[in-house]
Structure 1
Amino acid sequence: MKRLCLLLTLCCGTSQAAADLFKLPGYQDEDGAILLQAHGRHVDPYFAMKALLTAEELGLSIAPAADAWTAWLAPRQESNGSFPRFERQTNGDWRRAADADADDSTLALWISLLSRRYRQQDMPPALQASLARARRALWKLRQPRSGIYDYAAGAKLGYLMDNVEVYAALRDDCARTGAGCRRVRQLAAALPKAFWEAKTRRWRTASRDLPPVAFYPEAAAQLFPKMAGLPPMPGQASFDAWLLGEGRPWLAQDPPQLDFPWGLLALAALRDGREDAARAWLRQAAPARGTPRWNVLEEAVFQGLALRLAATAEPEQRLEE
Structure 2
Amino acid sequence: MSKLNSQHLTSIGSSLFGLLLSCLNAAHAAAPAALDLTGYVDKQGAISVQFNGDTIDPYFTLQALLLARENGLDISPYAMKWANWMIDRQKPDGTFDRFCLTQGVWSPCKTADADDALMALWLKFLSTMPHEQATNSRWTHSTQLSQANLDRLIDTKRGIYLVSPVYQHGLLMDNLEVLSYQIQPDNKAKAAAAKQLALSIRDVFSDQKTHRFLVSTQAEQKELASAFYPDQVAQIFPLLVDFDFNLLPSPKANYYKQWMKQYRQSWLTQSRHDFAWGVIAVLALKQGDSSSAACWLRESSAAQHTAHWIATDEVARQVLMRHRIEPAGLDVDCN
Same fold (TM over 0.5): yes
Q: State the shift of 1:88 in Å.
A: 1.9
Pairing of 1:272-291 with structure 2 (within 5 A):
272-291=287-306
Distance 1:14 1:95 in 2: 43
Distance 1:64 1:9 in 2: 28
Please, which of 66, 75, 80 is the counterpart of residue 67 of structure 1? 80
Please, which of 167, 189, 197 is the counterpart of residue 155 of structure 1? 167
User: Is 1:298 the counterpart of 2:310 in the alignment?
Assistant: no
- Show CA shifts across 1:161-191 (max 9, x none): 111001001223xx32544333212111100
- Alignment-mate amino acid for residue 205 of structure 2: F
Distance 2:40 2:27 in 1: 24
User: For the Cα contact (< 8 Å) 1:201–1:235, is it kept in 2?
Assistant: no
| Bigger radius of gyration among the two | 2
Pairing of 1:14-33 with structure 2 (within 5 A):
20-33=33-46
Contiguous gaps of at least 5 residues in structure 2: 1-12
Please, which of 253, 276, 279 is the counterpart of residue 264 of structure 1? 279
User: For the Cα contact (< 8 Å) 2:32–2:72, is it kept in 1?
Assistant: no
- Alignment-mate amino acid for residue 173 of structure 2: M
Corresponding position of 1:243: 260
Higher mean C-alpha deviation, range 223-232 or range 19-28:
223-232
Distance 1:318 1:229 in 2: 31
Corresponding position of 2:5: none
- Show CA shifts across 1:257-315 (max 9, x none): xx2111111233123221211111112111110111111111111111111235x9x9x
- Alignment-mate amino acid for residue 147 of structure 1: G
CA spacing shift, 1:120–1:86, aligned 2, 3 Å: closer
Higher mean C-alpha deviation, range 201-210 or range 267-276:
267-276
User: For the Cα contact (< 8 Å) 1:219–1:247, is it kept in 2?
Assistant: no
Corresponding position of 1:255: 272
Look up the SS of the partner of 2:195 in the other structure: helix
Distance 1:15 1:229 in 2: 27
Pairing of 1:16-55 with structure 2 (within 5 A):
20-55=33-68
Pairing of 1:75-114 with structure 2 (within 5 A):
75-90=88-103, 92-114=104-126
User: For the Cα contact (< 8 Å) 1:58–1:305, is it kept in 2?
Assistant: no
Look up the SS of the partner of 1:30 in the other structure: coil
CA spacing shift, 1:319–1:271, aligned 2, 3 Å: farther
Contiguous gaps of at least 5 residues in structure 1: none
User: For the Cα contact (< 8 Å) 2:267–2:277, is it kept in 1?
Assistant: yes
Corresponding position of 2:8: none
- Show CA shifts across 1:127-160 (max 9, x none): 1211111111011001001011111114220111
Distance 1:124 1:222 in 2: 40
Look up the SS of the partner of 2:86 in the other structure: helix
Look up the SS of the partner of 1:180 in the other structure: helix
Distance 1:254 1:289 in 2: 9
Q: State the shift of 1:95 in Å.
A: 1.3
Distance 1:177 1:101 in 2: 26
Q: State the shift of 1:318 in Å.
A: 9.7
Distance 1:298 1:141 in 2: 29
Pairing of 1:164-313 with structure 2 (within 5 A):
164-172=176-184, 175-208=185-218, 209-210=220-221, 211-230=224-243, 231-235=246-250, 238-253=255-270, 255-256=272-273, 259-310=274-325
Corresponding position of 2:156: 144
CA spacing shift, 1:25–1:10, aligned 2, 3 Å: farther
Look up the SS of the partner of 1:88 in the other structure: strand
- Alignment-mate amino acid for residue 86 of structure 1: F
CA spacing shift, 1:10–1:245, aligned 2, 3 Å: closer
Q: CA RMSD in A?
A: 3.0
Distance 1:108 1:221 in 2: 18
Distance 2:107 2:176 in 1: 30
Distance 1:254 1:86 in 2: 24
CA spacing shift, 1:261–1:254, aligned 2, 3 Å: closer
Look up the SS of the partner of 1:309 in the other structure: coil
Distance 1:44 1:200 in 2: 34
Q: State the shift of 1:121 in Å.
A: 7.0
- Show CA shifts across 1:59-83 (max 9, x none): 1001121111001111111111111
Distance 1:318 1:164 in 2: 35
- Alignment-mate amino acid for residue 100 of structure 1: A
Look up the SS of the partner of 2:47 in the other structure: coil
User: For the Cα contact (< 8 Å) 2:271–2:300, is it kept in 1?
Assistant: no
User: Is 1:124 the counterpart of 2:124 in the alignment?
Assistant: no
Distance 1:89 1:121 in 2: 31
